[in-house]
Structure 1
Amino acid sequence: MLRLADRPLIMGIVNVTPDSFSDGGRYLDPANAIAHGEKLAADGADILDIGGESTRPGAASVSIEDEMARVAPVIRALSAHTRLPVSIDTMKAKVAASAIAAGATIVNDVWGFQFDPDIARVSAAAQVHCVLMHNRLQDDPGVDMFAEVKDFLSRSIDIALKAGVAEDRIIVDPGIGFGKTHPQSFELIRRLAELKAALGYPLLLGVSRKRLIGQATTRTIAAERVIGSVSAAVFGACNGADIVRVHDVAEHAEAFGVLNAIRNVQTGRPR
């Protein structure tokens, strides 16, 4: 069961894919993915997010059957071995249903329930938490991105509520880097508190190792963007982010330990 707290929760990323932008192929083997998830749990993750299809630009699509085969054994093992809430990162209803059957308690949809019309019903029926992310097919520097994200996520929330998802099971995500220019993404991070106030729901920030971090730090290799990623996550935590989705859990946990000490926030992990 997911329980938000007065500190940001850390969602650790487990990519069971051959082509993710940061660690493609390293955890495609289920045994490697399970071991990685267990390490992230030991490093301080509060949630594990399992994905079987890369969402990077230009990534090959994956069949429903292949995606389910990749994620189900990993979710089954990690939900049993770690006792952490496990999230399925998918935009497909059948994959979500399979993952929930395997033990997932969160559906993290990068198209905010606006790609597969049945995923909202599946999520509502299972009474899982839902992360609704903004997305668009390509960037456009002329778009008022803050307004678009707010309107898109408002529609996603409406879809979720009409399907029967409980209000306290909804989390929103501005989709940093998805169909956005770097300036638009930085603006969204800068205005997180405003976006959260406008929508009225808990907020997830996913900025770990992304290209905009590389643009700001001149780090061309994704795995070398740890310090920049932590900086963005700490800023997010200070401006309303309830969950941060990250590759480098230990580093973020250490940074948040200091932030929590400054804030005098208890650091016991919720479940």
Structure 2
Amino acid sequence: MFQLTSKKRTLALDSPQVMGILNTTPDSFSDGGQYHQFDGACQQAREMIAAGASIIDIGGESTRPGAQAVSVEQELARVIPLVEYIAANFDVWISLDTSKPEVMQAGIDAGAHMINDVRALQEPGALAMAAKLDVPVCLMHMQGQPRTMQMAPEYDDVIVDIKQFLQDRVDACLAAGIKKQQLILDPGFGFGKTLAHNYELLGRLNEFSWLGLPVLAGLSRKSMFGQLLARDVTDRLPASLAGALISIQQGAQIVRVHDVQQTMDVVRVWQATETYIR
């Protein structure tokens, strides 16, 4: 059984955990600007926690295709007050969606429990900072950078190539002094992948358990559903729920979603029946 440990707290991963997405950015692909103001972000956090989210993932820099970078100061101003608010008022795990070591340090000091890095600790100073903080880290695969990642993604073999990248990042983490039991893997749906790549990843997600680490799947409202179904980002809930269920059936320990209540319904129905599935 996997479990996360941070600040003398543990989170068991013997059943699927729902991570609620809370973007405090004006330009995120799905909810850009909706929770940019502090009060709105706090209300959304309360609703996701009440619905059953065990982790709240706070991000202050959009990583949608074509997104522009923000400064350390901007990102800190967006995320730290919210981390402090949630840490002071709720018994829930807080994840920092960041690649900047300065934000990692300030966020963990403010009450966050883990780091979710789309760049897999490749930014200068990130590896050393994660080792110093000694908290769980999710390593995600991304081909290229947000500004360019969807221009022409190519792989010799998408599964083999992503496995190799993640193995290399795990090795780098271990060499830097990060404990293996503190690592989580994310194949990075939509981050430098074509439509076909994304569905191959979903159909073969169970292959990413090869390293003996928990897997996080983040498909919520992504363009892989919009392209397949010709649905606008506001009309992708059924597809997102299907993606979450398939991810769980393929062995994902954590699903990262916008729609917590509806995803929790899916998880509970699956839990009620999975014992009887042959």
User: What is the alpha-carbon distance in structure 2 between the residues aligned to residue 106 and residue 191 of structure 1?
Assistant: 26
From 264, 271, 274, give the equivalent of 1:253: 264
Corresponding residue for residue 124 of structure 1: 131
Deviation at 1:168, TM superposition (A): 1.1
User: What is the alpha-carbon distance in structure 2 between the residues aligned to residue 43 and residue 112 of structure 1?
Assistant: 29
1:133 and 2:140 aligned:
yes
Q: 1:177 to 1:170 in 2, by over 3 A?
A: same
Structure 2 residues without counterparts, runs of 5 or longer: 1-8
Please say which of residues 242-251 and 96-105 is displaced more in the overlay: 96-105
1:241 and 2:248 aligned:
no
User: What is the alpha-carbon distance in structure 2 between the residues aligned to residue 39 and residue 223 of structure 1?
Assistant: 19
Deviation at 1:6, TM superposition (A): 2.2
AA aligned to 1:165 is I
1:83 and 2:95 aligned:
no
User: What is the alpha-carbon distance in structure 2 between the residues aligned to residue 160 and residue 78 of structure 1?
Assistant: 29
User: What is the alpha-carbon distance in structure 2 between the residues aligned to residue 158 and residue 30 of structure 1?
Assistant: 38
Q: Secondary structure at the match of 2:12?
A: coil
Q: Secondary structure at the match of 1:87?
A: strand
Deviation at 1:141, TM superposition (A): 4.0
AA aligned to 1:126 is L
Corresponding residue for residue 48 of structure 2: 40
Q: Is the 8 A contact 1:113 1:159 kept in 2?
A: no
User: What is the alpha-carbon distance in structure 1 between the residues aligned to residue 13 and residue 213 of structure 2?
Assistant: 14
Deviation at 1:158, TM superposition (A): 1.3
User: What is the alpha-carbon distance in structure 2 between the residues aligned to residue 170 and residue 158 of structure 1?
Assistant: 11
TM-score normalised over the length of structure 2: 0.91
From 17, 24, 33, give the equivalent of 1:25: 33
Q: Secondary structure at the match of 2:198?
A: helix
From 141, 149, 158, give the equivalent of 2:171: 158
- Number of aligned residue pairs: 262
Q: 1:2 to 1:119 in 2, by over 3 A?
A: farther
From 71, 80, 83, give the equivalent of 1:63: 71
1:172 and 2:179 aligned:
no
AA aligned to 2:84 is R
AA aligned to 2:112 is A
Q: What are the within-5 Å matches in structure 2 for residues 188-199 of structure 1?
A: 188-197=201-210, 199=211
User: What is the alpha-carbon distance in structure 2 between the residues aligned to residue 90 and residue 241 of structure 1?
Assistant: 22
TM-score normalised over the length of structure 1: 0.93
Q: Secondary structure at the match of 1:3?
A: strand
User: What is the alpha-carbon distance in structure 2 between the residues aligned to residue 27 and residue 185 of structure 1?
Assistant: 28
Q: Is the 8 A contact 2:99 2:126 kept in 1?
A: yes
Deviation at 1:8, TM superposition (A): 0.9
User: What is the alpha-carbon distance in structure 2 between the residues aligned to residue 183 and residue 175 of structure 1?
Assistant: 14
Q: Secondary structure at the match of 2:256?
A: strand
From 65, 69, 81, give the equivalent of 1:73: 81
Q: Is the 8 A contact 1:90 1:96 kept in 2?
A: yes
Deviation at 1:218, TM superposition (A): 1.9
Identity of aligned residues (%): 41
Deviation at 1:217, TM superposition (A): 2.3
User: What is the alpha-carbon distance in structure 2 between the residues aligned to residue 257 and residue 33 of structure 1?
Assistant: 26
